[in-house]
Structure 1
């Protein structure tokens, strides 16, 4: 794995068994942590089947400490809050943030647009509770990218990549690298989108407008000047009527008020819109179940 420039991730479960019925980690936390380190594991996903969600407040931090004690850097992916939310508990977000590098808080993703859409809707509808928990080193995880598999069209694949970049999501591919088609590979390797996703500020984007299945999401990014952010903006269409729709965007109405304006570029087509002032209007043509994602860089003098 490492010789091929890849990272080695492994799945385990905090309970007696994994969700598929294989042996879980319960009773063997230190042994398994040491074993993963010996194997050269880079990423550990710890699920939560076959255990009591109340026990997770002790067990997940304990296993995280064992991982750290190995001395090998391993990304720690938790399902801790997902199981507690499903059971009606209020997760201890302070402890989760201190313990985990990323965590699941909603349903598993399926290989379909309906699944991707439901995740986007969940994050938008609950963003006031979700977004404040994200930041450098600790991220909300809406689950894997399914780009290049079987369930998404080309436009839907572009939409998932754009929205995962806006939401500061961990980017985990689930495609067979040996058979991936070139158009999906280009989406996954879009450096401009990856740069947005990996922006050093680590601020998760939010939905700022929704009407008739058309949504606008923005994410503050660098460069920053005197507390004025640049932004990534996604205009997402969840319409399924088969016709592109024109969407007019007024920056000031979305909180983009930098007096000198913004240099705007489309991160898929590389179309440049020039300098856009806060009171100007930009029109985007958005395909059904598709997206237009742009970067708005503050104009400095």
Structure 2
């Protein structure tokens, strides 16, 4: 009988040993590029992915901290008799492992996509009931990152579905960043910290103005998504990030001002920075925005604090992000279509944990303007930001 109970104990411990995610991954928000927003299903293929990896290196994104190249939907076409996924060989004739090897040869990391349901959002085979086979396959291919969607999941429990894939990934043994794309429907920020390394908080960002031609403030525009992040800051930190979806910089009709504001706010949110534009042909302005190392340093700060709103004057807001060593990032965000003048009186702004004197650096023009002992009159352009880093004078 003692042997029997010992065996039960071993089986129980074995069963729970896989009930965890890989630790010490995504200790800062992941940075990279994803194929969907620019290429969707029709335009994605092996050549495009290789050229994006090349451009990430040649255009300075790798040096700025971007590292993941993620194929989204439409790389898979079926399953074999044992349930293992079949690659779309028309799109990826060399196979996924060879593509992963190419991306790794560039000093980058490789990501792939699947879905918790029976089918992906584009109608390709999903991972439901095939989690073990898919996790084994990703490990064999040397995958570094998995985006896991939530289409065709009728009747499924989100917590159980995502935990099932988490456990399968862990059992397969290859450390993989797990990106939950559950759209925030089941409030994943409340329960997914031990399931995934990042979890979507909203539906997909509108990249093309599908609703009213404007990606600024429509029902799925980035400012609308920004508003939904208010109050979620307590749920984010190293290894578990709120994900307001990919960056819209470089896509469609976003002006330079708007793109700068969007990128700045995602940096303030400690959001994953996943570009979605065509890196090969992006403008110099978009390249400069995506590679602003001062803003990226705010996003990637090791303290891992998500920014939060401290002042709201309607169309004008002030956001704060605590940084390491007592530094503070402040973003003055003008939503209006007119320029906004604002007098900065540091003692009157409700900055948290603000004490003593700080040196003030503008993170877009890279100029030090003085210290917090002085008031300043600033001009924030329409639909734009001014972002300062406050460094405490010891």
Normalising by structure 1, we get a TM-score of 0.88
Aligned with 2:169: secondary structure?
helix
Q: Indicate if the aligned counterparts of 1:14 and 1:59 stay in contact, CA closer than 8 A.
A: yes
Does 1:150 find its partner at 2:252? yes
- Residue 100 of structure 1 corresponds to 196
- Residue 227 of structure 1 corresponds to none
* C-alpha distance in structure 2 between counterparts of 1:37 and 1:151, whole Å: 39
Does 1:245 find its partner at 2:340? yes
Q: Indicate if the aligned counterparts of 2:189 and 2:199 stay in contact, CA closer than 8 A.
A: no
Q: Indicate if the aligned counterparts of 1:54 and 1:84 stay in contact, CA closer than 8 A.
A: no
Given the alignment, which residue of 255, 272, 294 partners 1:170?
A: 272
* C-alpha distance in structure 1 between counterparts of 2:189 and 2:159, whole Å: 8
When residues 205 and 136 of structure 1 are mapped into structure 2, their CA distance, relative to the original with a 3 A threshold, is same
Given the alignment, which residue of 373, 377, 381 partners 1:283?
A: 377
When residues 60 and 259 of structure 1 are mapped into structure 2, their CA distance, relative to the original with a 3 A threshold, is closer
- Residue 91 of structure 2 corresponds to none
* C-alpha distance in structure 2 between counterparts of 1:7 and 1:291, whole Å: 32
When residues 101 and 181 of structure 1 are mapped into structure 2, their CA distance, relative to the original with a 3 A threshold, is same
Q: Indicate if the aligned counterparts of 1:60 and 1:80 stay in contact, CA closer than 8 A.
A: no
Aligned with 2:242: secondary structure?
strand
Point out where structure 2 has 5 or more consecutive residues left out of the alignment. Answer: 1-102, 208-214
Shift of 1:83: 3.0
RMSD of the alignment, in Å? 1.7
* C-alpha distance in structure 1 between counterparts of 2:189 and 2:291, whole Å: 36
Does 1:119 find its partner at 2:225? yes
Does 1:233 find its partner at 2:330? yes
Aligned with 1:46: secondary structure?
strand
* C-alpha distance in structure 2 between counterparts of 1:219 and 1:260, whole Å: 17
Higher-RCO chain (CA-CA 8 Å, sequence separation at least 6):
2
Shift of 1:81: 6.2
Q: Indicate if the aligned counterparts of 2:189 and 2:235 stay in contact, CA closer than 8 A.
A: no
* C-alpha distance in structure 2 between counterparts of 1:92 and 1:139, whole Å: 8
Normalising by structure 2, we get a TM-score of 0.68
* C-alpha distance in structure 1 between counterparts of 2:318 and 2:355, whole Å: 22
Shift of 1:162: 0.6
- Residue 149 of structure 2 corresponds to 47
Aligned with 1:51: secondary structure?
coil
* C-alpha distance in structure 2 between counterparts of 1:92 and 1:175, whole Å: 27
Shift of 1:5: 3.4
* C-alpha distance in structure 2 between counterparts of 1:103 and 1:289, whole Å: 28
- Residue 88 of structure 1 corresponds to none
What is the CA deviation profile of residues 161-215 of structure 1, one whole-angstrom value per residue up to 9, with x for unaligned ones? 1101100001101111111112111111111111100111111010111113001
* C-alpha distance in structure 1 between counterparts of 2:282 and 2:182, whole Å: 32
What is the CA deviation profile of residues 238-283 of structure 1, one whole-angstrom value per residue up to 9, with x for unaligned ones? 102xx32112222233235644311100101012121213xx4332
* C-alpha distance in structure 2 between counterparts of 1:135 and 1:44, whole Å: 19
- Residue 44 of structure 2 corresponds to none
Greater C-alpha Rg? 2
Shift of 1:69: 2.2
* C-alpha distance in structure 1 between counterparts of 2:367 and 2:393, whole Å: 17
Does 1:32 find its partner at 2:134? yes
* C-alpha distance in structure 2 between counterparts of 1:131 and 1:244, whole Å: 29
- Residue 75 of structure 1 corresponds to 177
Does 1:22 find its partner at 2:119? no
* C-alpha distance in structure 1 between counterparts of 2:253 and 2:143, whole Å: 30
Point out where structure 1 has 5 or more consecutive residues left out of the alignment. Answer: 86-90, 225-229
Q: Indicate if the aligned counterparts of 1:97 and 1:138 stay in contact, CA closer than 8 A.
A: yes
